[in-house]
A and B are shown apart, each in its own frame.
Chain A
């Protein structure tokens, strides 16, 4: 597609429920990133996918968080047993080659856990 697409744009969920956030990167971009932006905070790196290589999961805050990227394209970030501290904007970015050519971000998913 022309840009990075994220869905849903907003998600309200009850504490303890599981949620799935979707990211559709720019066609042909091999690198895909997930970041989290909590209220009043900076962007926090979560996970990075590059082609068929093993993902860098070093930023995932707990084992309740997982992500996959199917067929080198669409990615899904899953949060299990959501907690109120998971409330944040989840941003996805893609790049044609790591950071060499910069990132293009999607518009984000605002997650609210009540």
Chain B
């Protein structure tokens, strides 16, 4: 059974810091991995989608890496800003399925 864990559960950093959010999954036979952002009281916004054949994806100040064999993904946020404050979720579809299993998220607060 696929299980997704995100560490840390919460993180508070001063503005301008580079930071890394971690996601680990137990079944490495995944099709892809998606990172989302959720603002309080809102839905989920897709940030990056990494296919299983890829090692990383970049979008602006965000870079996500994927190491399937070790069951890990990291989301790197460069030069963090207060507007980056949100909960970050990773999700993977277990092998042979069509639905994502979500981690419980990392709640990020960037202080001005």
Contact = CB atoms under 8 A, between A and B. Distances in A.
Given A33-B99, A42-B105, A45-B99, A105 B45 contact: yes
B32 A106 contact: no
B43 A99 contact: no
Chain B interface size band reads: 20 to 34
Contacts of B42: 107-108
B43 A106 contact: yes
A96 B12 CA distance: 36
A57 to B, nearest CB: 12
Contacts, number: 57
> What DSSP secondary structure best describes chain A's contact surface?
strand
Interface string B12-46: 00000000000000000001101010000111111
A99 B102 contact: no
B46 A43 contact: no
Contacts of A106: 43
Given A91-B44, A104-B46, A99 B100 contact: yes
Contacts of A48: 98-99
Interface residues of A, number: 26
Contact of A102 (B32, B97, B104): B32
B43 A105 contact: yes
A4 B44 CA distance: 11
Interface in A83-106: 91, 93, 98-106
List 5 tightest A-B contacts by C-beta distance, closest first.
Answer: A98-B98, A99-B93, A107-B43, A102-B49, A105-B44
Interface of A: 4, 6, 31, 33, 35, 41-43, 45, 48, 50, 56, 91, 93, 98-108, 110
Given A103-B91, A106-B43, 15 more contacts: A31-B98, A35-B102, A45-B101, A48-B99, A50-B98, A56-B99, A91-B43, A93-B44, A98-B93, A99-B97, A99-B99, A100-B32, A105-B43, A107-B42, A108-B42
